[in-house]
Amino acid sequence: MRKSMVANEIKVNIGCGVSGIAGWHNLDNSPTILLSRVPLLRKLLKTPPWPPDVRRYDVRKGLPYPDGSVRYIYSSHTFEHFTPEESARITKECWRVLAPGGVVRIVVPDLELIAREYLADADPLAAQTFLSRLALHHSVHDLIHPGSNHSQMFDGRALTHLLRQAGFGRVEVSSFGKSLIPEIAQLDSEARRPESLYVEAVR
């Protein structure tokens, strides 16, 4: 193992929600994070129970780490909230900050799976259900929380292409719980497993 891989143990969770884990840099852009830090506002607004180690940060501004300094990057059900242009910039940022041999794992709703289920659904209102699941709509809520709705969807081809375009040479579709990231059991959500696509790349 290269010395750089031993020394660089920065691990980043992009869009962690309230599921950030100890020892990771848990980043999320929800405005309720700061509100939840004020006890009175937390009670009045009934904000989510944000762990104290979650940092509010907008990764669309770039990742706040030096080149080659990060060991692992994980992101679950976040990239579909970015525009295609934003996701391209962010994956390039992932490539920049990862050390050689570093791993990025991206989990998103599986468009191919959703489409297959739609085509197999005999319900007359299947089309409405399909569109609802895509959640490709925006509202005034986006002014308060930019990116709260989906801006795009991915299948395996699209997500692997995104990572290759960012510079990653070793990219593959993975599966639930199968990863080069040691703490994967704490990261992959069992609740999201039936709807998710998993893609992993090595710097």
Q: Judge residue 144's burial from the number of C-beta atoms within 10 Å of its C-beta, 0-12 exposed, 13-18 middle, 19 or more buried.
A: exposed
pTM above the 0.85 mark? yes
Domain boundaries, the chain: 3-202
| pLDDT band (50, 70, 90) for residue 4 | very low
Percent of the chain predicted with pLDDT > 90: 75
Distance CA 151, CA 53 (A): 28
pLDDT at 142 over 80: no
CATH topology of domain 3-202: Rossmann fold (3.40.50)
Neighbours of 161 (CB within 10 A): 13
Q: What is the DSSP string of 131-187?
A: HHHHT----THHHHSTT-S-S--B-HHHHHHHHHHTT-SEEEE-BTTB-SSTTHHHH
Percent of the chain predicted with pLDDT > 70: 91
Distance CA 87, CA 166 (A): 10
Distance CA 89, CA 84 (A): 9
pLDDT at 52 over 50: yes
Strand ranges across the sheet with 196-202: 54-56, 25-28, 10-14, 70-76, 98-109, 196-202, 170-173
Distance CA 178, CA 30 (A): 28
Distance CA 127, CA 174 (A): 29
Distance CA 137, CA 117 (A): 21
**Span 155-161, mean pLDDT?**
98
**Span 75-81, mean pLDDT?**
96
